[in-house]
Amino acid sequence: MRALLSREAFWWTFAAVVLLWLAFVEQQPLSSVGFRWPTWKTFVFAVVGAVAMLFVMILHMGVIVRVFHLDTTTVLAQQQMILSQPYWFRVLLVLRAAVVEEILFRGYMIEKVRQLTGSVGLAVAVSVLAFTWAHYAGWGAVQLIPVFGAGVILALLYVSRRDLPSNMLAHFLTDGAGFLLR
């Protein structure tokens, strides 16, 4: 448990350092990476995003895995490892994924790549590929299909709204459905 908590602490610290860098070195407001007060649209778009991601997950496990006879051993082992953890830790894990991953892979990464290249398309591509790659070590290749799909949905949600809380909530609802409702 200590190693798992250390890993979570590392990611929270990394996100905090990125936000501190943004505020004090780059001298940019948090709104420059999509932080803003939630509105009713924040919640509506979060639910729409979560439903879209859950559809991708269901399509993956219900159709793609079966049609192509993909080996889900690594996915199921990782899922079981997470589900075997205490509920409070699973809440922490889902919260960290929703908050930290959205700060790093959507808010900061998309804005910086867009700023450096002037290309929204390249910013989305870099974000999706980095997000997908970050999930490879723990989840294996088969899970990269729905992770890629979720990355596309989250990146498009971000660039269309620049509402990071909406992304965080969509991510939380999606991961929460898999790890908190069991």
pLDDT in tens, 133-180: 999 988 999 999 999 999 999 999 999 999 999 999 999 999 999 999
Q: What is the pLDDT of residues 68-89, one digit of tens each?
A: 999 999 999 999 999 999 999 9
φ/ψ of 102, rounded to 5, equals -70, -35
Residue 1 confidence (pLDDT): 84
* Amino acid in position 159: V
- Please, are residues 98 and 172 in contact by the beta-carbon 8 Å criterion? yes
Q: What is the pLDDT of residues 2-45, one digit of tens each?
A: 999 999 999 999 999 999 999 999 999 999 999 999 999 999 99
The CA–CA distances, whole Å, from 134 to 66, 101, 105, 120, 140 equal: 25, 10, 10, 21, 10
**Global confidence as pTM:** 0.95
Domain coverage including residue 52: 2-179
Q: Is residue 101 exposed (0-12), middle (13-18) or buried (19+ Cβ within 10 Å)?
A: buried
- Residue among 139, 101, 129, 114 at smallest CA distance from 15: 101
Q: What is the pLDDT of residues 95-147, one digit of tens each?
A: 999 999 999 999 999 999 999 999 999 999 999 999 999 999 889 999 999 99
- Please, are residues 15 and 103 in contact by the beta-carbon 8 Å criterion? yes
Number of domains the chain is built from: 1
